[in-house]
């Protein structure tokens, strides 16, 4: 899980409150101290503008005067500890609120009707700040459990994708001429087992790459519903890639293919992207993937 850089956020948000716009209050410069205060305030935001505030803090710039008022209230609340605590909570809420939205998208994708529990998210934050939790030992323990729970929740949400992929693999694997590569690989801290299925579309007789090789390939990747998500073939230009920098199932196929070969490969989800496909990709969590791979050569 991401760690919160408190000092950096304090600097960003404090600087944000000094932004100026059409509705900013007028300066009242009656002395050198007044002018110095104004100069420091303006200089401290030299790398900030209201467009950045709108983007980073979701600020509606039509209310710049309200932002200035809020900043002044926060300044003058220094002696009122209760008010001070509230404004710190607002500051933290702005930052953690953005993270909360990001984590919700991580779990539910682009379905804006679903979110994590905001209340429990905040209670979890407070448990760490107070050093008191009835659920986890500490933030590190919570982080490890969050990874486990994230995978568990996603498997429930995308159970249909997982089931359809397994059914497709079973049907594909029963076809005549389909080869199988049983493998066990290390993915993160986990030992993952799976079977890569393949059909030989073109026989090659060149050398076979190792997992440290750099190869030149043409490929096309698609989902089991035939949706193409990436294709060097359509781009008309082969790709040079390191064998050990692709998803495990793709790597297993490459290390069994002689140069000159062209295979159709079916990769089970645990040897592809698992529950964590690239954001914005048409690949859903736990998707079975199909690749057409043509191995053109091994780079020297």
The per-residue pLDDT for range 88-123, each reduced to its tens digit, is 888 888 888 888 888 888 888 877 888 899 889 989
Does the pLDDT of residue 157 top 60, yes or no?
A: yes
Mean pLDDT of 180-188: 86
- Report how far residue 160's alpha carbon sits from residue 138's, in angstroms, rounded to the nearest whole number: 35
Does the pLDDT of residue 243 top 60, yes or no?
A: yes
Does the pLDDT of residue 262 top 60, yes or no?
A: yes
Mean pLDDT across the chain, nearest whole number? 85
What is the model's pLDDT at position 205?
A: 94
Nearest to 196 by CA among 263, 285, 296, 284: 263
Please enumerate in sequence order all residues whose Cβ is within 8 A of that of 240, keeping only pairs 6 or more positions apart, or say none: 214, 215, 216, 299
What is the model's pLDDT at position 15?
A: 44
Does the pLDDT of residue 298 top 50, yes or no?
A: yes
What is the model's pLDDT at position 1?
A: 43
| Percent of the chain residues topping a pLDDT of 90 | 43
Q: Between 24 and 297, whose confidence is greater?
A: 297
What is the model's pLDDT at position 190?
A: 78
Does the pLDDT of residue 182 top 90, yes or no?
A: yes
What is the model's pLDDT at position 162?
A: 95
- Report how far residue 166's alpha carbon sits from residue 98's, in angstroms, rounded to the nearest whole number: 36
What is the model's pLDDT at position 90?
A: 85
Does the pLDDT of residue 276 top 60, yes or no?
A: yes
What is the model's pLDDT at position 134?
A: 87
Helices (H), 114-267: 118-130, 139-157, 159-173, 232-235, 248-254
Does the pLDDT of residue 272 top 90, yes or no?
A: yes
- Per-residue pLDDT of 32-82, as tens digits, reads 877 887 788 778 777 777 788 788 777 888 888 888 888 788 777 777 888
Model's pTM, two decimal places?
0.70
- Per-residue pLDDT of 190-241, as tens digits, reads 788 999 999 999 999 999 999 999 999 999 999 999 999 999 999 999 999 9
pLDDT band at 24 (very low <50, low <70, confident <90, very high): low
């Amino acid at each position: 899980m991401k760690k919160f850089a408190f000092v950096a956020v304090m600097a960003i948000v404090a600087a944000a409150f000094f932004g100026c716009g059409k509705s900013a209050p007028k300066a009242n410069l009656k002395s050198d101290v007044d002018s110095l205060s104004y100069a420091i305030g303006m200089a401290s935001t030299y790398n900030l503008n209201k467009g950045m505030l709108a983007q980073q803090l979701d600020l509606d710039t039509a209310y710049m005067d309200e932002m200035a008022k809020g900043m002044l209230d926060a300044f003058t609340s220094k002696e009122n500890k209760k008010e001070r605590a509230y404004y710190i909570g607002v500051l933290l809420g702005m930052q953690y609120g953005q993270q909360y939205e990001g984590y919700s998208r991580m779990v539910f994708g682009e379905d804006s009707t679903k979110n994590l529990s905001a209340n429990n998210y905040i209670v979890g934050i407070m448990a760490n700040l107070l050093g008191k939790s009835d659920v986890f030992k500490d933030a590190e323990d919570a982080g490890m459990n969050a990874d486990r729970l994230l995978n568990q929740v996603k498997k429930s949400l995308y159970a249909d994708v997982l089931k359809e992929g397994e059914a497709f693999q079973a049907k594909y694997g029963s076809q005549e001429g389909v080869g199988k590569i049983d493998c066990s690989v290390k993915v993160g801290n986990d030992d993952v087992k799976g079977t890569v299925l393949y059909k030989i579309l073109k026989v090659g007789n060149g050398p076979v790459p190792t997992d440290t090789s750099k190869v030149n390939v043409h490929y096309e990747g698609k989902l089991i519903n035939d949706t193409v998500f990436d294709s060097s073939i359509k781009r008309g230009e082969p790709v040079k890639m390191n064998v050990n920098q692709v998803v495990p199932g793709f790597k297993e196929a490459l290390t069994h293919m002689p140069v000159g070969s062209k295979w159709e490969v079916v990769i089970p989800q645990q040897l592809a992207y698992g529950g964590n496909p690239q954001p914005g990709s048409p690949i859903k969590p736990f998707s079975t993937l199909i690749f057409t791979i043509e191995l053109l050569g091994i780079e020297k």
